[in-house]
Amino acid sequence: MTQITENTYFTEQLIDEIADTLAQQGFIQLQDFLPEWLADQLLLEAKRLASVEFKPAGIGRNNSLQINSEVRTDSTLWLNGISVTQQSYLECMEHLKMGLNRRLFMGLFDFECHFSHYSIGDFYQRHLDAFKGDTSRVRSHRVLSTVLYLNPDWGKNDGGELLLYADEQVSPLLIVPPVFNSCMIFLSDTFPHEVLTSRSDRYSIAGWYRVNGNSAS
């Protein structure tokens, strides 16, 4: 696996690999995604903030946001660059955005993300991050989803796997354990997915690259 340097975050070879795989199959699973020091610091920050800053995760967006414990039970905290660690991660994802735009002409406009904490028993039912044809004029819409996992020594008995589906298929296309410093990237409107019940504390950062949904009137 191509390694990332601290100064450049991602090598050109790695961005080529990500772009080519996304173009071919719409998703990619990556190991050793970040410099280890940054993944370690993100985990420490997530653990420190989980008990005091995280809030129950909602369903929907803006005025339609609601809490529904039958659909998801995790807690979240949006990253806003308030710490050096958050700034470093956001800079990393900005670097990737620029690289993907140069190669795939996706028109990625910005990136939003939040910490996620799944306590024992938490889950997130099958869903899509965006719907085809979404052209919201209120804010930009999601086109590319990312999930960075922050769980050292995660085992198969800990649960919490991400199941990625192809369209309406019943059986998952991919079963992804939330292993430390691994990352899933996939098209937001193409792959339904769910998080199986976690049997241990599970931390991640869910993110979305968006395109500008506003158009001239």
The CATH class for the domain spanning 12-56+70-211 reads mainly beta
Count other Cβ atoms within 10 Å, centred on residue 31: 10
If you average pLDDT over residues 24-37, what whole number do you get? 97
pLDDT, position 56: 93
Domain range summary for the chain, segments of one domain joined by +: 12-56+70-211
Q: Is 21:144 a contact under the CB 8 Å cutoff? A: no
* pLDDT score at 167: 87
Mean pLDDT along residues 106-127: 97
Per-residue pLDDT at 62: 52
| Average pLDDT over every residue of 102-126 | 97
Tell me, yes or no, if the pTM score tops 0.85.
yes
Q: What percent of the chain has pLDDT over 90?
A: 79
Asked whether the predicted pLDDT for residue 7 surpasses 60, the reply is: no
Q: Span 65-87, mean pLDDT?
A: 91
pLDDT at 70: 85
Sign of CA dihedral 83, 89, 92, 94: negative
pLDDT digits (tens, 9 = 90+) for 185-207: 999 999 999 999 999 999 999 99
Average pLDDT, the chain: 90
The pLDDT assigned to 58 comes to 74
**Given pLDDT bands bounded at 50, 70 and 90, which one contains residue 126?**
very high
How would residue 9 be classed by pLDDT, with cut points 50, 70 and 90? confident
